[in-house]
Each structure stands twice: as C-alpha cells, then as structure tokens.
Amino acid sequence: MNFNDWFSALQTRTASHSGAGLAAFKELLARLKNPQQNYKIIHVAGTNGKGTVCMLLAHTLTGAGEKTGLFISPHLTSPTERLQIDSIEIAPKDFINAVEKVLVCEQEPLNLFEILTAAAFVYFAEQKVTYVVLETGLGGRKDPTNSCLPVLSIITSVGLDHTQILGDTLSKIAAEKAGIIKPGVPVLCGDLSSGVKRVVEEIARERKAPLEILHAENSLGNAQAQNRELACRAAKFLKVPDEVIAHAVETVKVPGRFEIFSCGKKTIILDGAHNPQAIENLLAFWQTTPFAQKHATVLCAFMQDKDYPKMLSMLSACFKTGTVTAVSSPRAAGKNLITPLLPPGWQFIPDISAAFIRAQAEVVLVTGSFYLAGEIRKRIINNTLCQNSVRNSVLKKH
C-alpha cells in the first residue's frame, strides 16, 4: 500500500468515528508519556487567518535559529504538509511510524484529527524541536490540540462558521475559540467586535491570563495586515529580534493564500477562502491589486455545511462571470444546491478540469474551498491543466 492509499484508509476514521473526546484524548497522551510537554507550544485558534499566522510564526522562529514544528490543517496537495519542521514536511515513512505509535496506545476509538494531533505531538518530541506552532482543528475548547499547555495563545478572528457545531451566534463561537485560554498564559487576539471582545475579556479575566487585543488602526486597517501583525507580535513576545521578524515576513511562502501562477495565457490565483468572512477579506484585498482592473473571472466550489449562498452572492456581486464546480467529497455542494442560486453569467460544471477550461478570462480566481485550491494547485504543478506553469509569487495578502 502506498502512502496516499494508506492515508485514504486513515481518513475513513472521520466518517466512522466521532472521536474519543478531550478527556479520553488526554488519557491517550498520558499512555504516550505526554510528548506535548517536551517543547514550547504556541496555540492558535480563529475562524480565519490561523493557518497563515501559524506559517508566518513558524517561519520566523526557524529564522531565529529555533528548531520549530508546525501542525496545520487541512492540507492542499499532500497530507505531509500537516506536520513540518523548519518548513520541511514530514517524510511519509515517519508519518506512518508516528501514527502507528498512536494507534498502539488507542483504547477509545479516535477520529482522524485526534490521531494526527497525537502523531504530531509524538513526532515533534522524537525530533527534539524547541517550539511547536499548533493550529486548532475545529473551535478550540473541545479540540484535541487543547490538551496542551502553551506559552502563548493566539485567537486570530471570530466569525460565523461551523455554526451547527460551535453555535449560531458570534458570542457562542467566541466562547469556543476562547476555550484555548489557559490560566496565567498570555493571550494575543486580532481585532474583535464588541460582543466577541466582551466574551474573550471575561474568560481571560477569569483565568488570570494577560490579554492583548490588536485593533484595526494598529494593524494597517485590514484583516490581511492584521495576520502579519499578529505573527510579528507573537514573535516579539518570544524574544525574536526585529531584523529576523522583518526578513521572515518578506520571505515566507504561504501556499493557497493568494498564490499566483502563470498557466499558459491565464494568470491563476489560488485562495482558500471558505466562509463569508474570508470571502469578504479576499474581495477587499482584491480591490487593492492590479487584477481588479483586468478581465477576471471566478472558479469556485463550496461545501454544503458552509454558507455557500452568501459566498456565491458576494462573489457574483464582484465578478460578472464565474464557474462553480464540485470537489470529490460527500460534503460538496453539488448541482441541485448550486444551480438555483446561479446569477446571470455564471455556470455550474461538475468536472473540475472542464470547469477550468471553461473559465475564460485573463485572470482566474480560484476560491471557495481549500479542497478546490489544493486540487487546482496539484494539477497545475503536475502540468495536467496546462504546460510549463510558473509560480509567480504570493502577494502579501495575509
């Protein structure tokens, strides 16, 4: 069995198991001799921006000479992206080895994310890293990553997403995100609305956790710059020199976040914005780029558990033409859901390659789902969508 087949088999854990839960997960870690206690952890939660902040901060710590682990999700093209040390992805054989060590200690049935979190803790301990930048999966309070005791907690943003699980109001979601706050551990937050801010402040006060909240006017006035500022503030808290921070910000590469490719005569921009808040941030940034003045179209896909009607409405208000497709997932929003919502000038084409070909414009923005961005990225890199593609750059969006 090759690595991809092995991981596909592991993914069935998501469908067949609801997970052990945080209490049982902590017991699992105890049987594994608590590997998460062997390094300093920066724990990052948030509706949007957390992956970008994690990558920026890990890159900065590596630049400061620290051996730094990074745990993120989802992956774009390979599961090995989820576990990295100093920007180098885990080798498939090491990935399998770490997972097997977790499964040997399994008593309560674990879901995929619990397995991967525990495997990351094990791998980073074995590799003797000094720091781990740890991204939450869903929410924060009940997330398996919340089994750690970090040196710093970060909440990037709070928006309406995963409402069926986290709650249908910003206050409820804020309480779940703020569940990562630990007694006495400093907390750094992005700009928050007044109601969300009150929830976070109350939890931080109860747990006697020092709290700093960035405000828009202190982070260049937009969500993209705020993510950079959060990573920079976190690095300064960790005593990273200013010159190292500046170099890291200029040299970091964040795949799937306004990532630009030349693909034949087309310019392809990949952005994994996958909820209304992320789409709003993306469109605001789009208007500041040269692409806003060019002939551009959208290629997008959505998951049915997201607010896809709102995202489609936002995108169609900005772009006269667009193509909606579907990724290979039981969660994908398909033809029956999308077609009644299509505005004039937009079309639904289920096959991704055919949809890409039909997206005729000088510039094609691929968005709505990390799964779509990853699938298009993989096909571009493998030259199956177009020949001799070139990765141009990543504009400083996040």
Q: What is the pLDDT of residues 8-64, one digit of tens each?
A: 999 888 854 578 899 999 999 999 999 999 999 999 999 889 999 999 999 999 999
Tens digit of pLDDT for each residue in 365-385? Answer: 999 999 999 999 988 888 777
CA dist., res. 306 & res. 136, Å (int):
18
pLDDT at 266: 85
Residue 295's CB: how many other CB atoms inside 10 A? 11
ω into residue 210 within 30 of 0, thus cis?
A: no
Q: Could you tell me the sign of the dihedral formed by the alpha carbons of 25, 54, 217, 161, in that order?
A: negative
In terms of residues, how long is the chain? 398
**The two structure tokens encoding residue 389:** 């593609």
Pairing between strand 322-324 and 363-367? unpaired
Q: How far does CA 94 lie from the centroid of its chain?
A: 23
Looking at per-residue pLDDT, the higher value among 196 and 392 belongs to 196
Phi-psi map region of 199: left, alpha, beta (phi>0 left; psi -120 to 50 alpha): alpha
**For residue 391, what are the β-bridge partners?**
261
- Band of residue 74 on the pLDDT scale cut at 50, 70, 90: confident
CA dist., res. 350 & res. 353, Å (int):
9
**pTM of the predicted structure, to 2 decimals:** 0.88
CB 297 within 8 A of CB 323: yes
> What single DSSP character describes residue 390?
E
Residue type at position 110 = L
Of 49-63, 151-165, 186-200, the one with minimum mean pLDDT is 151-165
